[in-house]
């Protein structure tokens, strides 16, 4: 993943309502959500939700599919995975980042 792609994704996720929309979509995974389901869960006005979905889509964080009269939004799993790998790629010099527990003295 290029730095510019990561920056674009982080900018898109840098707004609280948009982050909440993305997290909800990620929770549903391949099943996806319609805008009306998102509105029902988060209480975001339709026009505002449209704006946030457009921003997430342009950042390639979500995909959209038309099913009959509905739009179904799903996470772009490949990008989410790439973004996670990008963040953790050089984490702690290849060693575990979790602190080692010290043994208690008897």
In a domain, 33, yes or no: yes
- Domain assignment present for residue 26? The answer is yes
pLDDT of residue 51: 95
The answer to whether residue 87 sits within a structural domain is: no
Residue 60 located in a structural domain: yes
Check which CATH number belongs to the domain holding 71 and give it: 1.10.10.10
∠ Cα 101 103 104 (to 5°): 120
pLDDT digits (tens, 9 = 90+) for 32-82: 999 999 999 999 999 999 999 999 999 999 999 999 999 999 999 999 898
**This prediction's pTM:** 0.81
The number of folded domains in the chain is: 1
Instruction: Spell out the alpha helix ranges (H) of 1-106.
Output: 3-12, 16-28, 35-42, 46-58, 77-88
Residue 93 lies inside a defined structural domain of this protein: no
DSSP assignment, residue 10? H
For residue 32, being part of any structural domain is answered with yes
Domain that holds residue 42: 3-81
């Amino acid at each position: 993943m290029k730095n510019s792609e990561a920056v674009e994704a982080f900018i898109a996720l840098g707004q609280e309502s948009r982050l909440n929309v993305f997290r909800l979509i990620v929770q549903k995974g391949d099943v996806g959500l319609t805008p009306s389901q998102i509105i029902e869960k988060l209480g975001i006005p339709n026009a505002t939700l449209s704006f946030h979905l457009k921003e997430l889509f342009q950042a390639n964080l979500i995909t959209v599919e038309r099913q009959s009269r509905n739009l179904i939004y799903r996470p772009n799993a490949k990008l989410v995975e790439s973004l996670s790998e990008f963040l953790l790629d050089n984490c702690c010099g290849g060693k575990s980042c979790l602190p080692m527990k010290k043994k208690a003295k008897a």
